[in-house]
Amino acid sequence: MNRRDFLLASLAAMAAGCAARAEAAPAKRVLVAYFSLSGNTRAVAGFIHKALGGELLEIRPAKPYPAAYQASVDRSREELHAGERVALVPLEMPDFDVLFVGSPNWWGTIAPPVETFLRTVPLKGKLVVPFFTHGGGGLQRCEATARAIGEAAGARLLPAKTFPGGSATEAEVAAWARGLDLGTDPADIADVPHGAFPLGQPNVANAKWFSGRSWVAPLTGMAALNCPIANVTFEPGCRNNWHRHSGGQILVCVSGEGRYQERASYRRPGRVLLPGDIVEIAPGVEHWHGAAPGKWFQHLAISTNPGTNKTDWLEAVADSDYRTIGNKRKA
Ligand code: MN
């Protein structure tokens, strides 16, 4: 078995919190580019930028639109009918991997300056996330136009998102942006106290068994040792479902504050986990682990008996169970 096969096999058999993704990738660079006249698209772009970080770029036509909204829209209609490319104020393009591109819906499609932008910026190999603001028209041809231009240029596109003009809230936009699979960790990862160990990749493979976001970084891979160890990071409040490992598991707590609990029938109280704590989980014991409320948490997950170890996922953890641990008034 070569190293790659070993890694994949190990990870497949591995304990909770370990996705079957063995290759680390560098963090993706996010660019949020937008054109806005009324300010609606600018507001959404700002919320995305605030949620994910990266660069923010305003697309501006070389010939400014009239201040009056209707006059601008009328001009854009003429531009659309003329089919000519609208010139832009020259842009200083930062390097990027993921492009969020925002436009108002004008005449059922993307605004001419945004079309010029998409047709002139190199998009080969990039991930493009279009977003639109509208005054009641919804997507119409906005998404199809952006997709056609982007795919012709060699980009991959995520589904477009629309926001009714002026009504998008920061929380709504941030939840959408952070929930996207950009193939990488969002930029607010800079805030994660991950100390000495790498953060790794979003835990996509097991996401449906986690109550929030988590990341996994495989740390070992030598086949002769047969001892898979991964660093698992939980965002505040995130825990996994009840589950059991047929070959058991060891958790080595490395940063933040976590929680651990076994079924009440085992008569062992739930635990508050701090750096340096060790949790030995016997084969077949039903349990869950994760971050404390409001706290990031990281543990190393060591897959014991990895040759045959298998994880069975059960139901989500009740809030009443989760909240009781560490609450001295109820202990
Ligand atoms: Mn476990």
Place of tokens 């009440």: 264
pLDDT band at 109 (very low <50, low <70, confident <90, very high): very high
Centre of ligand 1 from the C-alpha of residue 289, in Å = 6
Alpha helix (H) residue ranges in 53-195? 69-82, 112-120, 142-152, 170-179
| Cα–Cα distances in angstroms (integers) from residue 152 to residues 21, 149, 156, 190, in the given order | 30, 5, 10, 34
Centre of ligand 1 from the C-alpha of residue 244, in Å = 6
- Cβ atoms within 10 Å, residue 204: 15
Centre of ligand 1 from the C-alpha of residue 15, in Å = 6
- Identify residues whose C-beta is under 5 A from ligand 1, the ion: 16, 249
| Cα–Cα distances in angstroms (integers) from residue 168 to residues 42, 67, 71, 128, in the given order | 11, 23, 25, 21
**CA–CA gap between residue 9 and residue 87 (Å, rounded):** 54
Place of tokens 């601008």: 72
**CA–CA gap between residue 211 and residue 237 (Å, rounded):** 8
pLDDT band at 19 (very low <50, low <70, confident <90, very high): very low
Q: What is the pLDDT of residue 328?
A: 59
Centre of ligand 1 from the C-alpha of residue 190, in Å = 26
Centre of ligand 1 from the C-alpha of residue 151, in Å = 41
Centre of ligand 1 from the C-alpha of residue 303, in Å = 9
Q: What is the pLDDT of residue 189?
A: 52
Q: Under the phi-then-psi rule, with left for phi > 0, alpha for psi from -120 to 50, and beta for the rest, what region is 178?
A: alpha
Which helix (H) or strand (E) element contains residue 319? helix 319-324
User: pLDDT tens digits for 234-274?
Assistant: 988 899 999 999 999 999 999 999 999 999 888 888 999 99
Centre of ligand 1 from the C-alpha of residue 39, in Å = 48
Return the higher-pLDDT residue of 44 and 10: 44
Centre of ligand 1 from the C-alpha of residue 1, in Å = 26
Mean of pLDDT values over 205-229: 89
Centre of ligand 1 from the C-alpha of residue 297, in Å = 14
Centre of ligand 1 from the C-alpha of residue 261, in Å = 10
Centre of ligand 1 from the C-alpha of residue 76, in Å = 57
Place of tokens 């965002």: 235
User: pLDDT tens digits for 40-91?
Assistant: 999 999 999 998 888 999 999 999 998 887 888 888 888 888 887 899 999 9
pTM of the model: 0.51
